[in-house]
Structure 1
Amino acid sequence: MSQRVEKQSPIEVVVVVLPESSIMSLASVLDPMRAANRVAGRQVFRWRLLSGDGEATMLTCGIPIDVEGRFAPPLGGDLLLVIGGFNLHKHAGKRFLAMLQECARHFDIVAGIESGCWLLGRSGLLNGRKATAHWEELEDFSQTFPALTVIGDRFVTDGKYWTSGGASPTFDMMLHLITERLGPALALDVASIFVYDQMHSATDVQPFVSLGRIEARDPELAGAIRLMERTLERPLTVAALARRLSISRRKLELLFARGLSISPAAYYLRLRLQVAHRLVRDSAIPIRDIALRCGFDSLSAFSRAYSREYQSSPLKMRSVTRGETSLRAEVAHGRKGDSLPGSDAG
């Protein structure tokens, strides 16, 4: 996508936010636009916030977000962003997908944020294109949509269809949009407002662990963590990790002790369990499959390790989590009138 001449009229944006979405994903969409308006000294972005049913949307943090109306034709503009979270099957059925297919025709760019990429996939809009999803869901996303080329980049732009793998990549995606539509100087000013000093490109790979300044301060430690990420399903011994990294086992142990105050073996196990914990809570993947995906040879070994870490068995944790989800839905239904003010486009 080549850089365009700055538009004098505002960039028209429609943001569709579904229940059980992340407040960070919503903020990563809205705040860069708000900041761009502030830096430019005029309204370079103008947006509307919509929901599937026109009612206030309850986010995962328990905050209800007021909207201007229901997502339905006729709609058009420069940018359509669809933000999805948990339990999409409850919040976006066939009718929503039909509206998405119709409305997408009338926007220059259509973007799926976090689970919003699944909605673009289910609607058929991404067929034959490249796309991404959150790193936890990449494998399932690829298997569900074999007509797509799924890659693990932070965000992907393929023609008019964009997908983002999480809240931070969405912020990068919005900076990319500002760069393309309004110029790199304005994008840098927006990033500076948020003290965001590491602008990522679309092709940066999504990490399991956000290392921040560790990569610059201690690249050997960062390299060890990245190797652990790549070998979750088939964990290496500490000695094998050291050999792959071309350092001694003693040096590897010192790197982790100095940088993270933990042994490499303990960190490796914790990393595997953290990934498993997210899958137990946030997916319907069978527990046995989660165990194998996170490098445990048996269900019993996984259950023991998980229980030590989280004081609950995987099955009990999943049961409790589903109960909390149902409770949040009940609370959202009962508090439709108790909502926050709408978006500030100025």
Structure 2
Amino acid sequence: MSGTEKIQSMIDVVVVVLPESSIMSLASVLDPMRAANRVSGRQVFRWRLLSADGEPVILTCGIPIAVDGTFSLPLEGDVLLAIGGFNLDRHVGRRFIATLQECARHFGIVAGIESGCWLLGRSGLLNGRKATAHWEELEDFSQAFPALTVLGDRFVTDGKFWTSGGASPTFDMMLHLITQRLGSALALDVASIFVYDQTHSATDIQPVVSLGRIETRDPGLAEAIRLMERTLERPLTVSALARRLSISQRKLELLFTKGLSTSPGAYYLRLRLQVAHRLVRDSGSPIREIALRCGFDSLSAFSRAYSREYGTSPLKMRSRHRGAGATSEGGEGI
């Protein structure tokens, strides 16, 4: 198919959005298509928003989103995008999964965004394929669906089934779709509209910390933080970190003092506790397992460090958060 033929072919997209999804994920899907239409001067994308029951969807920020109808059969098109957030079990059941399974047969691309990847996993559509999820949930996602090859990439495309690990990776995924269907020049124009000057490939690893301009302003500090990310489960001493980075311990300490106004040891501990905090709130993993995954040799040491940072124990935090309505499967990933 030639580039001209691609541009002349309208892409029919169905977006299924669930309650408690992220507004950023929804925008990362819709705005690139809107911008592509604007840049092209014609409607190259046509989309419909659907919900499980045809009613408006309340996002995590509290904003209601009107939809065009109910996610039900018959349904067909070019691209089917399922956006999920918190509390999947409240919002979908067997009927939704059965509809997803049947609809997948009638779309050229089927993508799971945020906890939408869990929906594809539950449906069995990803069995034997590669997939990703938000970095906070990668291990749980892998354990829940052992028939998948789970990657830590920003987004994964395996045949017609695509999965995205968060709002920003979803924007990259949509640019990939535009490149694939409409050409790289149009994708570049769309990225430029949003002043998005650092596009990522699918296989870029999802970072625990989004460094922004630190990577160009202070690459040594960025490299140290990335090393900390990779060693959360088995944290290194500050001297070992410096050796791995081929710098002196004094220089490492100066990097953190100048760049982040803290010591490398304090930042490392805070990073481990932040990851643990998300797992305590948003996963069903046992507290002891979370402690080990975040580099704490004992539950008591983890509980003390966590309580100093957040003012309460991990168990009390989990109880409080669940009482406020959160459950384990499906995070926001913003």
Q: With structure 1 as the length reference, what TM-score do the two structures score?
A: 0.91
The whole-number CA distance in structure 2 between the counterparts of 1:264 and 1:99 is 50
1:307-346 → structure 2 map (5 Å cutoff) = 307-325=307-325
The whole-number CA distance in structure 1 between the counterparts of 2:4 and 2:152 is 27
Moved more, 260-269 or 316-325: 316-325
Partner SS, residue 128 of structure 2? coil
8 Å contact from structure 1 (residues 5, 181) kept in 2: no
Gaps of 5+ in 2: 327-334
Residue 4 of structure 1: how far off its partner (Å):
8.8
The whole-number CA distance in structure 2 between the counterparts of 1:52 and 1:124 is 19
The whole-number CA distance in structure 1 between the counterparts of 2:263 and 2:81 is 43
Are 2:8 and 1:8 equivalent residues in the alignment? yes
Q: Specify the alignment match of 1:70 in structure 2.
A: 70
Q: Specify the alignment match of 1:87 in structure 2.
A: 87
RMSD (Å) for aligned C-alpha atoms: 1.6
8 Å contact from structure 1 (residues 52, 92) kept in 2: yes
The whole-number CA distance in structure 1 between the counterparts of 2:318 and 2:66 is 30
Identity %: 83
Residue 12 of structure 1: how far off its partner (Å):
0.6
Superposed CA offset, 1:194-242 (max 9, x none): 1111010111111111112222222211111111001111111101111
The whole-number CA distance in structure 2 between the counterparts of 1:97 and 1:253 is 51
Q: Specify the alignment match of 2:242 in structure 1.
A: 242
The whole-number CA distance in structure 2 between the counterparts of 1:5 and 1:315 is 58
1:233-312 → structure 2 map (5 Å cutoff) = 233-312=233-312
Q: Specify the alignment match of 2:185 in structure 1.
A: 185
Superposed CA offset, 1:120-149 (max 9, x none): 111111111111111111111112212111
The whole-number CA distance in structure 2 between the counterparts of 1:5 and 1:198 is 29
The whole-number CA distance in structure 1 between the counterparts of 2:161 and 2:122 is 14
8 Å contact from structure 1 (residues 36, 44) kept in 2: yes
Q: Specify the alignment match of 2:114 in structure 1.
A: 114
The whole-number CA distance in structure 1 between the counterparts of 2:319 and 2:61 is 19
Superposed CA offset, 1:294-315 (max 9, x none): 1112222212211221222212
Quick one: structure 1 residues 101 and 3, their matched pair in 2 at CA, closer, same or farther if it must change by over 3 Å? farther
Gaps of 5+ in 1: 327-346
Q: Specify the alignment match of 2:329 in structure 1.
A: none
Quick one: structure 1 residues 4 and 266, their matched pair in 2 at CA, closer, same or farther if it must change by over 3 Å? farther
Are 2:17 and 1:17 equivalent residues in the alignment? yes
Partner SS, residue 6 of structure 1? helix
Moved more, 75-84 or 85-94: 85-94
Letter in 1 for 2:57: T
Work out the number of aligned pairs and report it: 326
The whole-number CA distance in structure 2 between the counterparts of 1:299 and 1:310 is 16
Q: Specify the alignment match of 2:169 in structure 1.
A: 169
Residue 103 of structure 1: how far off its partner (Å):
0.4
Partner SS, residue 99 of structure 1? helix
Residue 324 of structure 1: how far off its partner (Å):
2.0
Q: Specify the alignment match of 1:196 in structure 2.
A: 196
The whole-number CA distance in structure 2 between the counterparts of 1:299 and 1:317 is 15
8 Å contact from structure 1 (residues 179, 186) kept in 2: yes
8 Å contact from structure 1 (residues 276, 294) kept in 2: yes
Letter in 1 for 2:208: F
